[in-house]
């Protein structure tokens, strides 16, 4: 519970909010109209007035109806967990592809909210005579516009995907291995990427500091040529349609020859984060390649740098600190072991005459 509260507060701060108060209401069954009970909603409204709060965030998924009702009752902006994540994504997207993906994710999310609004109005139809009313028509228009835009964005993303595929085929032909850094947001993927490639990408103690994918050469002696990719982090309860909107960015992971799953070993929520990342990897179909679990931030845990192998002798975990560099050489060696430089091709024997 505490880890969840810490996470949603960090998300709020990453989006630029200042957290004033947090509440953990004890309601088992969400209210259809307000999510929380009416009494609790009025209490929240009262606190908003008292502390001049101008936004309330719910660490859950709210229906379109609930959002509208809450906004009215609380007279301030209301965001749910997904809305908040989308806000952060929108603030951070830089590349053309990233921007397209965020817009697509937002529209898909809006579409689900509209559906809620739609059934809500339909249900009221008989009772208060909204049939054919302007609200209904507007919803239809909104829906059509959103559907058209989604189609357009998908087509543009498809084009960018083709370019990506060409690049990845070129790499495959040149026998360049790709290693993808994946992991929970804030685990230290970019820090490790920078350490391995001597890059200076943006690192920050905030959620979703990275949104775009970057690829760089990873020079390791005695190993095949390799590139490593850094990409958007994962988070628990990311809805399916959102994950899919980022499919283009995540395709780098799907097509990689090896996955480095970076884990914040110092986080109390470490195990849940590992489970969440494994779930997303399954969802995007990144299951055929080998995976090394990289326990990062060992400088904060007292763990020693090192590796562990499984029963077949394959390296399964590496413990390191991307920040101070301890154990990073061990990781380089592990990578060289996975992709050893092949001996220069011996002269091919002549075909035996029959």
Ligand X SMILES: Nc1nc2c(ncn2[C@@H]2O[C@H](COP(=O)(O)OP(=O)(O)OP(=O)(O)O)[C@@H](O)[C@H]2O)c(=O)[nH]1
Residue numbers of the site for ligand X (CB under 6 A)? 183, 185-191, 203-205, 207-210, 233, 296-297, 299-300, 321-323
Interaction between residue 197 and Mg ion (CB under 5 A) = no
- Residue number with the shortest CB distance to Mg ion? 210
If the CB atoms of residues 266 and 289 are measured against ligand X, the closer one turns out to be: 266
CB of 214 to ligand X, least distance (A): 11
Helix (H/G/I), strand (E/B), else coil: 234: strand
- Of positions 12, 93, 209, 334, contacts Mg ion by CB under 5 A: 209
186, 210, 206, 212: which is closest to 296 by C-alpha? 186
CB of 238 to ligand X, least distance (A): 12
Tokens 């988070």 map to which residue? Answer: 235
Q: Which does 185 bind (CB under 5 to 8 A by kind): Mg ion, ligand X, none?
A: ligand X
The nearest distance, CB 131 to Mg ion, in angstroms, is 51
Of these, 14, 63, 178, 190, which contacts Mg ion (CB under 5 A)?
Answer: 190
**Contacted entry of Mg ion, ligand X, none for residue 191, CB cut-off 5 to 8 Å set by kind:** ligand X
Both tokens of 336, joined, read: 């060289």
Gap between the Cα atoms of 200 and 210, Å rounded: 12
Q: Concatenated DSSP letters for 11-55?
A: HHHHTT-----------SS-BTTTBS-HHHHHHHHHHHHHHT--E
Residue with Cβ nearer ligand X (65 or 256)? 256
CA distance 26 to 157: 43
- Which of 286, 293, 295 lies closest to 314, judged by CA? 293
CB of 273 to ligand X, least distance (A): 11
229 and 259 Cβ atoms separated by less than 8 Å: no
Min. distance of Cβ 243 from Mg ion in angstroms?
17
C-alpha–C-alpha distance, residues 352 and 354, integer Å = 6
Cβ(323)–Cβ(297) under 8 Å? Answer: yes
The option from ligand X, Mg ion, none interacting with 208 (CB < 5 to 8 A, set by class) reads ligand X
Nearer to ligand X, 93 or 207 (CB): 207
Q: Which stretch binds Mg ion (CB under 5 A): 8-16, 208-216, 333-341, 346-354?
A: 208-216
Of residues 208 and 338, the one with the C-beta less far from ligand X: 208
Measure the CA–CA gap between 95 and 99, rounded to whole angstroms: 6
> Which one of Mg ion, ligand X, none is in contact with 310 (Cβ closer than 5 to 8 A by kind)?
none
Other beta carbons less than 10 A from residue 83's beta carbon: 20
3-class secondary-structure state, position 89: helix
Identify which of residues 193 and 339 has a Cβ nearer to Mg ion in the complex: 193
Check residue 65 for interaction with Mg ion (CB under 5 A). Answer: no
Q: Residues 284, 241: contact at Cβ < 8 Å?
A: no
273 binds Mg ion (CB under 5 A): no
- Which residue in 101, 197, 210, 229 binds Mg ion (CB under 5 A)? 210
Q: Which tokens in the block code for residue 227? A: 């590139």
Residues in contact with Mg ion by CB under 5 A are 189-190, 209-210
């Amino acid at each position: 519970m505490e880890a969840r509260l810490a996470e949603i507060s960090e998300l709020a701060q990453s989006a630029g909010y200042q957290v004033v108060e947090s509440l953990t209401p004890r309601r088992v069954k969400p209210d259809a109209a307000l999510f929380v009970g009416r009494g609790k909603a009025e209490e929240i409204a009262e606190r908003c007035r008292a502390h001049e709060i101008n936004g309330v965030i719910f660490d859950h998924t709210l229906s379109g109806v609930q959002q509208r009702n809450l906004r009215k009752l609380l007279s301030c902006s209301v965001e749910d967990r997904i809305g908040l994540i989308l806000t952060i994504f929108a603030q951070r997207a830089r590349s053309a592809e990233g921007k397209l993906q965020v817009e697509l994710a937002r529209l898909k999310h809006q579409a689900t909210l509209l559906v809620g609004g739609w059934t809500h109005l339909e249900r009221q139809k008989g009772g208060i005579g909204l049939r054919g009313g302007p609200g209904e028509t507007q919803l239809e228009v909104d829906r059509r516009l959103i559907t058209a835009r989604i189609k357009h964005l998908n087509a543009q993303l498809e084009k960018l995907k083709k370019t990506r595929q060409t690049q990845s085929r070129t790499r495959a032909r040149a026998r360049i291995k790709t290693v993808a850094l994946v992991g929970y947001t804030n685990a230290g993927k970019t820090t490790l990427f920078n350490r391995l490639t001597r890059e200076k990408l943006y690192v920050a103690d905030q959620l979703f500091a990275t949104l775009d994918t970057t690829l760089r050469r990873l020079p390791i002696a005695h190993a095949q040529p390799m590139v490593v990719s850094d990409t958007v982090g994962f988070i628990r309860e990311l809805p399916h349609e959102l994950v899919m909107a980022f499919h283009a960015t995540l395709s780098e992971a799907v097509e990689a020859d090896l996955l480095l799953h970076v884990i914040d070993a110092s986080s109390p929520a470490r195990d849940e984060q590992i489970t969440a990342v494994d779930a997303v990897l399954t969802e995007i179909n990144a299951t055929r390649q080998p995976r090394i679990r990289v326990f990062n931030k060992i400088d904060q845990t007292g763990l020693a740098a090192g590796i562990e192998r499984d029963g077949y002798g394959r390296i399964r975990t590496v413990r390191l600190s991307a920040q101070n560099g301890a154990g990073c050489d061990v990781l380089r060696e592990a990578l060289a072991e996975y992709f050893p430089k092949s001996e220069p091709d011996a002269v091919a024997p002549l075909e035996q005459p029959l």
